[in-house]
Amino acid sequence: MTEHMDMSRRSVLRNLLAAGVAVPLLAVSASSCTARGGLREVTVAGGENGGFYLEFATLLAEALQRRGIAETAKPLVTGGSLENLELLRSGKATFAVALADAASRAASDKGTGTAPAMAAVGKVYENYVHCIVRKDSGIGGLDELAGRTVSTGEPRSGTSLTAARILETFAAGMPAFAKNPPVKRSLGLNKGLAALRDGTVDALFWSGGVPTAAIAALNKELGLAFLDLSSVIRPMRERFGPFYDRVRIPEGSYAGAPAAWTVGVANLLLCRMDLDDHTMEQTVELLVTRAGELVPQSSAGVQFLSPDTLINTAGIPLHPAAERAYRELHG
């Protein structure tokens, strides 16, 4: 990284933090710590095989162990955001990646018992909602999914929450669609793509990075198209909160597929508020100074670890030690 880029990162984060990131200063505790003060074992709740969650979780776990932040670190294969949040709350995961809308809902859930509060480490990238159809299907818009069979994601995934909100919002403004809604199937990425291939579903929702390797592979085999979802963004923000952005899947992200406007949702790296300060500070330093080690090779490079967005955590408070680390790293 050049000196100019270093100064730019410092300037952007210093200005953003000066604008105020309100974080309650709560006591934190450490358990199973090494002599250096970090954790002996770290687990990172990721996602499904073939998706960015698991790719990112794997790279993060490898970096945490390689740089001695933990003695051992491993990624967890999961159903996605909702399962990751459950694993984090129960203490079965040290870190979890999750969509901001799912994290916000979990943070506001009053039925979580005595589990410690959840905290953010940073926004690590932007998730792009893909509404995928076969190019030869003739389906050109959301309205044409009426009465068709649609995969809405693994039940424990963030995709399942976001897809349900997209369809609910679209139906609210389209009475004919509401009277003849799609038939939903709860399939994860790989089973959903297999169903799209064999014709047992007509469309597939997936929330992930661009490009997602498993989707790129099927696109080469069959030829896929991506529906424009931009019409639902404003009403979704009005109904559910400011988690949804208008983003573009760039042309060429999937061979032969044109650009498509879609729904973007921040993807957060989360921990529990009782995570020890040493582990947190070292993890933030890793995110800031070693970002290149944490970007999946298949990434288009348009949504990862941006210095001006790391601390924009969609209303989820930063861990106190994370806030201090950002300030110390950037003046």
Listed as own residue / partner, the contacts of 110-114 with beta carbons closer than 8 Å and 24 or more positions apart are: none
What is the rounded distance in angstroms from the CA atom of residue 244 to the CA atom of residue 246?
7
Angle at 326 between CA 290 and CA 127, to 5 degrees: 60
pLDDT value, residue 305: 75
The full set of domains in the chain, from first to last, is 3-125+267-330 (3.40.190.10), 127-265 (3.40.190.10)
User: Residue 328 is encoded by which pair of tokens?
Assistant: 């110390």
CB contact at 8 A, 170 and 177: yes
What is the rounded distance in angstroms from the CA atom of residue 305 to the CA atom of residue 263?
19
Question: What distances in angstroms separate CA 122 from CA 46, 141, 193, 215, one per listed residue?
Answer: 15, 34, 30, 27
User: Residue 310 is encoded by which pair of tokens?
Assistant: 């790391």
Q: What amino acid is encoded at 5 in this protein? A: M
What is the rounded distance in angstroms from the CA atom of residue 323 to the CA atom of residue 325?
5
Tens digits of pLDDT across the chain (331 residues): 433 434 444 444 444 444 433 333 233 333 455 545 568 999 999 999 888 899 999 999 999 999 999 999 999 999 999 999 999 999 999 999 999 999 999 887 754 456 679 999 999 988 999 999 999 999 999 999 999 999 999 999 999 999 999 999 999 999 999 999 999 999 999 999 999 999 999 999 999 889 888 999 999 999 999 999 999 999 999 999 999 999 999 999 999 999 999 999 999 999 999 999 999 999 999 999 998 889 877 666 556 677 677 898 988 999 999 999 999 887 5
Collect all residues with Cβ–Cβ distance below 8 Å to 331 and sequence separation of at least 6: 10, 14
pLDDT value, residue 71: 95
